[in-house]
Chains A and B, each alone.
Chain A
Amino acid sequence: MSSTFLGMPAAPPRSPYGTGNLRGDRKFPKAASGELRNEQLRRNLGKATRSIRAKRLAVTGELPDWERLRDAGSAIKTETMNRLPELLEQLERKVTEHGGTVHWARDGVEANEIVTRLVKETGSDEVIKVKSMATQEIGLNEHLDTQGVTAYETDLAELIVQLAHDKPSHILVPAIHRNRDEVRDIFRREIPGVDPDLDSVPAHLAAAARAYLREKFMTTPVAVSGANFGIAETGTLSVVESEGNGRMCLTMPRTLITVMGIEKVLPRYRDLEVFLQLLPRSSTGERMNPYTSMWTGVTPGDGPQEFHLVLLDNGRTAALADRIGREALNCIRCSACLNVCPVYERAGGHAYGSTYPGPIGAVLTPQLAGMHEAKGDPNSSLPYASSLCGACFDACPVKIDIPSLLVELRHQHTERSGVTAEKLAMRTAAAVMKRPKLFTAAQKAAGAGRVLAGRDGTFSHLPPPFDSWSDSRDTPAPPKQTFRSWLASAEGAATLRAAAEEGVPAPGPTGAAGPHDPEEQR
């Protein structure tokens, strides 16, 4: 607050480098090329994203006011960010009034310490967990493990990921990269006492998970959850889910610890009427998800009698400080943008290296954790993991203009990168293009490069320093004859004459070959 009094706002810090799960160990193109070779993964992803896309279109199409709901959702989130300080203070006051305790965490490290301390105070060395992006982001399970506390993920997909010692690859369906046979094999191998003849029928796999977790729900005294929404006006927290594992964790234990990103607050209870329509239809493609729980502090005789809310920054304020990038904080984690993204559908979620994959991950991750934090920071490749086709923008229930955010991050990246081979090449090209004779000579020289191209007329690998360009694109070989030399030839002249006779105007002083090329004209 002192900085506010001085009238000199300081840029808030990113999530500390080297903590949590907001950075992979390789750049996106390297990571993706491995994933792309995994045919099983591509089949699983293709099938799953196709099916969810069809469902989403059906249930969003049946609401005549869908676009008006999106407009409202977008505006409510923008209002929320504008009023964030007062809304957070109001939320804190309301939760406290209703018997809850509010904690603040500057970053993931601090949040992990707070949660660990609260779990230990209950005397338990086990904790049950509702699927939560925030706790995945800060690496809570790994931290609890080092402190002798075992965390049990209770969402089916999270359980699959945890039992397989794997990483989530999707915001909503973390095990989307696994098919039913793989899940059966994981369950047979990892669930103690499971039926050795368990088959791969999804209903039977779900039943196996039910049996495995039942006892945990009945006996574990403390649970950790995330939150989809926190209502400032009333202090009400909300978790949206399907299986009932959320209800179990939010109801059965004596102590509940909820970790919520500060951007998840909503101003009014009434705002739920918008988000309870936008979120389920966008995420699972259902009119409503099977279960939503809403609670306000502690209710005597019903559910946990001790409630802690941990409000997490971890780079969110750094994102908020960016005039354009702050829009990414409006995300409600529905994952519609992943399901429509041609890049995500092929590369899968692991290639992004972050808890947040896909289009929204490509804009959110660099803003939370930075993209110039070390030499060759893998996050610097994320804004380029897109064809800018815009499908994500169309699908987003709160209208986040992800393509524009990607372009802005690319801009920030090139501004920061200093003189690169690409920049030099562009500068040289500009100089050459300004001088027609030199340009013609350069084109002729480039034409000679044809012989080096592959059979399909493209270069798939260029020598350094151009390899970073060719790593992710094919470069077409220069043509035998350039357009300009064709135009100047007898054939070109004849074609132009014929066109003129048919009534197509010949290039005049303002035409294509006009003032830019006075020498050749003469």
Chain B
Amino acid sequence: MNARETVLGRVRDALALSGTPEVSVPRAYRTGRTLPDEERLALFVDRLVDYRARVHPCTADRTAAVVAGVLRERGARRVGVPAGLDPAWLGAYDGEVREDSADVPAPALDALDAVVTASAVSCAETGTIFLDGSPGQGRRALSLVPDLHVCVVDLSSVTVGVPEAVARLVPERPTTLISGPSATSDIELERVEGVHGPRTLDVVIRTDV
């Protein structure tokens, strides 16, 4: 018998010995919640700030100005963008913009000062942004290697809780959940922002999209 058959046989034997207690999953926790725009925005911002992310609410027509302002303030001279990102978003930025593609070796992304991406879904209650590799979000390495991540979130894509956010995901897409800049609590359980992922996270929230 190969290992697969042996392990599966053992599992069946184990269940024959211990029995299978009857169970049904009670999903009485909160699902399908909604909140008015202002409350959802306030909750989301509160959670992001708690993680020491910087938050820039604005209207859609100000996207390019806000993105350029953030990049300039952070001194970013070379910015990576994924294919499919709305080119207008970088319209006010005067530095170098490099569009990413699969032939760029991932380590080369280390030469970028910043990356600007869109996002798929967000969850207000936990301050979490979901990227899923769709156009405008790019491959996972792109939003990981550069030290500054400027992420554009449309308020319409912000759900209240985790169940509402998970329901909007496409499981087969490579999905990254981001809740603030990278952090560690490994030394005396004291939270320190900035380890291997981007040490700075700037979230541009477009309140009318």
> Which A residues contact B (CB, under 8 angstroms)?
1-4, 9-13, 44, 47-48, 51-52, 64-65, 68-69, 71-72, 75-76, 78-79, 81-82, 84-85, 88-89, 98, 103-106, 110, 154-157, 160, 173, 175-176, 178-180, 183, 202-203, 205-207, 209-210, 213-214, 217-219, 231, 233-234, 236, 242-245, 247-248, 250-252, 262, 269-270, 272-274, 276-277, 280, 284, 286-296, 299-303, 311, 313, 317-318, 320-323, 326
Bound CA–CA A2/B12 (angstroms): 11
Bound CA–CA A448/B41 (angstroms): 76
- Near A by CB (< 8 A), chain B positions 1-33 give 1-21, 23-31
Which single member of B140, B141, B171, B174 contacts A269 (CB below 8 Å)? B171
Bound CA–CA A317/B183 (angstroms): 36
Chain A residues whose CB sits within 8 angstroms of the CB of B69 once the complex forms? none
Kindly provide the distance from the CB of A174 to the nearest chain B CB, expressed in whole angstroms. 8
Kindly provide the distance from the CB of A424 to the nearest chain B CB, expressed in whole angstroms. 33
Beyond A72-B27, A244-B144, is A252–B106 a contact (Cβ under 8 Å)?
yes
Determine if B184 and A72 form an interchain contact, defined as CB atoms under 8 angstroms apart.
no
Q: Mark B17-56, 1 if CB is under 8 A from A, else 0.
A: 1111101111111110000000000000001001100000
Which single member of B8, B126, B139, B198 contacts A88 (CB below 8 Å)? B8
Beyond A4-B9, A156-B187, A276-B166, is A303–B171 a contact (Cβ under 8 Å)?
no
Let me know if B179 is at the binding interface, CB within 8 A. yes
Determine if B176 and A247 form an interchain contact, defined as CB atoms under 8 angstroms apart.
yes
Determine if A72 and B28 form an interchain contact, defined as CB atoms under 8 angstroms apart.
yes
Which single member of A180, A236, A243 contacts B183 (CB below 8 Å)? A243
Chain A binder among B58-66, B91-99, B188-196: B188-196
Determine if B172 and A234 form an interchain contact, defined as CB atoms under 8 angstroms apart.
yes
> Which B residues contact A (CB, under 8 angstroms)?
1-21, 23-31, 47, 50-51, 102, 106-107, 110, 123, 125-128, 133, 139-141, 144, 162-163, 166-167, 169, 171-190, 192-198
Determine if A9 and B166 form an interchain contact, defined as CB atoms under 8 angstroms apart.
no
Which single member of A65, A84, A218, A244 contacts B182 (CB below 8 Å)? A244
Beyond A9-B13, A291-B176, is A72–B26 a contact (Cβ under 8 Å)?
yes
Beyond A252-B106, A294-B175, is A202–B9 a contact (Cβ under 8 Å)?
no
Known contacts A4-B13, A290-B178, then 8 further A-B pairs from the complex at CB < 8 Å, ordered by chain A residue = A82-B15, A173-B189, A243-B186, A288-B123, A290-B197, A292-B176, A311-B7, A317-B14
Chain B residues whose CB sits within 8 angstroms of the CB of A47 once the complex forms? 188-189
Main secondary structure of the interface of B (DSSP, over half): loop
Chain B residues whose CB sits within 8 angstroms of the CB of A244 once the complex forms? 144, 182, 195-198
Kindly provide the distance from the CB of A403 to the nearest chain B CB, expressed in whole angstroms. 19
Chain B residues whose CB sits within 8 angstroms of the CB of A217 once the complex forms? 196
Give 3 closest A-B pairs by Cβ, nearest first.
A244-B197, A301-B102, A244-B196
Chain B residues whose CB sits within 8 angstroms of the CB of A277 once the complex forms? 29, 126, 162
Determine if A293 and B184 form an interchain contact, defined as CB atoms under 8 angstroms apart.
no
